Structure 1
């Protein structure tokens, strides 16, 4: 398990990162990549969508262009404070502080779940993906964006010591173990040489 897959360490990490997150994020995960991913999720205007690990609300902002019913959850109070500054006063989004492994929602509460830049901090990704499957209605969609595994074995060992990095084979294993039967992966990159993202779109069995 990587250092930042410990929840307490991750909260401390984001206490400081939240101050510069919106300035750093576009170098790794930009609006064009977000737009492509939202197209793959393809939420309908009346869909109820949960953004897990919503952070400062970068993905939330994009989702609001497609549906007015967006809910954001994050374990970091510091990240949520930044998100609240953007959306809270207008009541555009309802935010929750909570744990992705134990979502505080009823079964079949959402039409879709989105999660970008969060899976790498989950101590048990399969348990969290099962939670996504639980709170999404049968036939609904789940989209997860995480860091694609480095091709260099040396850098890969260093990366894994910090947080979860995974490839398409590992993504297959995780989504299959979580109960998903249909899913597809896309590799995204902000620019040549920048870190790659692996974006998986899965469908909850009916």
Structure 2
């Protein structure tokens, strides 16, 4: 388990990163990548969508292009404070402070669930994926963006010591273990040589 796959350490990390997050994020995960990922969800006006690990609201902002019924959850109050500055606490988005592995929502609540840049911090990612499946309606789309494993063996060792990095084979294992039967993976990249994202689009079993 990586250093930041610990909830307390991750909260401390984001206490400081939140101050510059929106300035450095586009080098790894930018609007083009976000909008491409959103196009794979087939969202419709009126859909109730949950953003798990919403952070400063970068993904949330994209979801709002499709629907006004948006809910954002994060464990870092410092990240969420940045989101409040953009959307207000209870105006355009309903925000919740909570844990991705114990979502505070009833079964079959959401028409779609999105999570970008969050799974790599979860101590038990399969549990988080199971929770996302639980709160999504049957047939709903669950989309998860995480960091793709580096190609270099040395880089992999360094990456794994920090947080969760995974490839398509590991994503297959996690999603199957979490109860998903239909899913596909896409590799996204901000620019040549930049870190790659692995984006999984899954369908909640009927």
- Matched with 2:141 is 141
Instruction: Point out 4+ residue stretches in structure 1 off by more than 3 angstroms.
Output: none
* Aligned counterpart, 1:75: 75
CA distance in 2, matches of 1:200, 1:28: 17
Q: Secondary structure at the match of 2:101?
A: coil
Shift of 1:43: 1.0
Q: What are the equivalent positions in structure 2 for 1:158-169 lying under 5 Å apart?
A: 158-169=158-169
> CA offset at residue 98 of structure 1?
0.2
Partner in structure 1 of residue 114 of structure 2: 114
Asked if the contact 1:147/1:198 (under 8 Å) is kept, the reply is yes
Mapped partners of 1:133, 1:21: distance in 2: 28
CA distance in 1, matches of 2:42, 2:55: 21
Kept in 2: contact 1:56–1:79 (CA 8 A):
yes
Q: Is the 8 A contact 2:89 2:95 kept in 1?
A: no
2:194 match: 194
**TM-score, scaled to structure 2:** 0.99
TM-score normalised by length of structure 1: 0.99
Whole-Å Cα distance in 2 between the matches of residues 41 and 181 of structure 1? 17
Question: Would you say the 8 A contact 1:117–1:146 is kept in 2?
Answer: yes
Q: Distance in 2 between matches of 1:85 and 1:205?
A: 37
Q: Does 1:96 align with 2:96?
A: yes
For residues 8-32 of structure 1, what are the alpha-carbon distances to aligned partners after superposition, in whole Å with 9 as ceiling and x for unaligned? 0000000000000000000000000
1:17 match = 17
Give aligned pairs, total: 206
Q: Is the 8 A contact 2:184 2:201 kept in 1?
A: yes
Separation of aligned partners in 2, 1:2 and 1:42: 34
Root-mean-square deviation (CA), in Å? 0.7
